[in-house]
Structure 1
């Protein structure tokens, strides 16, 4: 299953490659479930669903290989209730974060969202947060973290969406945990450390 935060191509561009694999190489595999915030569905369809010939041979719709599940403020997956919330990235309700209460919060691309995190990270959840060295109108910078979040919340952050491995090293030297390519995190209830697995 995949949760779509927003429709910028650095977040959804891989759906075409996955579609091709599912349509050509893994035809017996069931459709991949896509959880998509309802305000994002129309734009996602514009980007990928309008093309009649996603395959040169035709005969396959983009949505044939996906199970589209439009979501509102919450949804169920694998027996767990997830919560969805709007973040501050470009337009109003154009980008969304994800929370598994008691476990983790994933901000997606965003500026600082202290009000949302006061609600969705109130149980001690680990917060996977967009952060680069320098903020801009669409993304959080490390100075924004210091200005907008208290020390207790900053200790629970795992940063991603940074500029480079050099930037990741600088963020680590500032005392932040930084997610790296291929890192896997075990889900542990809040109050216990969310550990990097293996």
Structure 2
């Protein structure tokens, strides 16, 4: 069994040339879970897999992470073979925000008669969720305001922060072993995002060695992060993961 994290895009909101930050968890070369769906994510996903995503996890509701959901809705609704089959996992605290951002516009279709969520299977969660026999942990991150952004971890394999400020104590809890950590990082931090100086101040050497940085501002910024000794994800790159640890029956 082989596992990979396939980065479809790696850019910050303004770095459109790098693609909207999103990734796919692959198992034996097949897509298991899409993480986030920005404005260009669906095109990149279709190019890679020639099918619509079966499972989607939303970290938070800024438009560079959910801006592709309207188009995905249209594709799902007008294809009866897939309508209602794609599961959308997200923390329960995000459901009101997700409803407001993408689902609550009057008339999902101009013709009327359609409720937005009928095109999907919305699966709210809190501590995490089961997917194909694996338990995925969900954890709060620090982004803009409390309770609005949540990362994802698969024990023994990886953690994906989504947009965040440094969260060393959280990562040591959910990815304290050999897990790869895909981490939001630009050259300069701000109240919603991590900068490289934050990484070097907040994370010890053993944790920094497991980071793969994404959500940076430009290709030149990525090159600078690499020059400082960090592994940097590039759009289209597949990063090998350690196979996840056996899941405990009481994980859920």
CA distance in 2, matches of 1:55, 1:187: 40
Contact 2:180 2:241 (8 Å CA) reproduced: no
Q: How does 1:1-198 map to 2 (within 5 A)?
A: 1-24=55-78, 26-30=79-83, 31-189=85-243
Which stretch shifts more, 14-23 or 179-188? Answer: 179-188
Return the offset for 1:66: 0.9
CA distance in 1, matches of 2:189, 2:119: 37
Distance 1:190 1:67, change over 3 A: closer
Distance 1:187 1:71 in 2: 24
Q: CA deviation at 1:29?
A: 1.1
Q: Tell me if structure 2 keeps the 8 A contact 1:124–1:190.
A: no
CA drift of 1:184 comes to 2.2
Cα offset for 1:190?
Answer: 7.1
Q: 1:60 to 1:187 in 2, by over 3 A?
A: farther
| Count of residue pairs brought into register by the alignment | 190
- Give the TM-score taking structure 2 as reference length: 0.72
> In structure 2, how many angstroms separate the alpha carbons of the residues matched to 1:111 and 1:95?
11
In structure 1, distance between residues paired with 2:214 and 2:114: 35
Structure-2 separation of matches of 1:166 and 1:62: 40
Counterparts of 1:185 and 1:55 in 2: how far apart (Å)? 39
Q: TM-score with structure 1 length normalisation?
A: 0.91
1:183, 1:19 → 2: CA distance? 27
- Which SS does the other structure have where 1:92 is aligned? coil
> Secondary structure of 2:239's match?
coil
Q: Which has the higher strand share?
A: 2
Residue in 1 that maps onto 2:34: none
Preserved contact between residue 159 and residue 177 of structure 1 (Cα < 8 Å)? yes
Structure 1, unpaired ranges of 5+: 192-198
1:33-55 Cα shifts (integer Å, max 9, x gaps): 00010100011112222234222
Deviation at 1:133, TM superposition (A): 0.5
Displacement of 1:20 in angstroms is 1.2
Task: Describe the SS at the equivalent of 1:186.
Answer: strand
Secondary structure in structure 2 of the residue aligned to 1:84: strand
Choose 50-59 or 67-76, whichever is displaced more: 50-59
Q: How big is each residue's C-alpha offset from its partner over 1:96-143, in whole Å with a ceiling of 9 and x where there is no partner? A: 010000000000100000110111111210000000001011100001
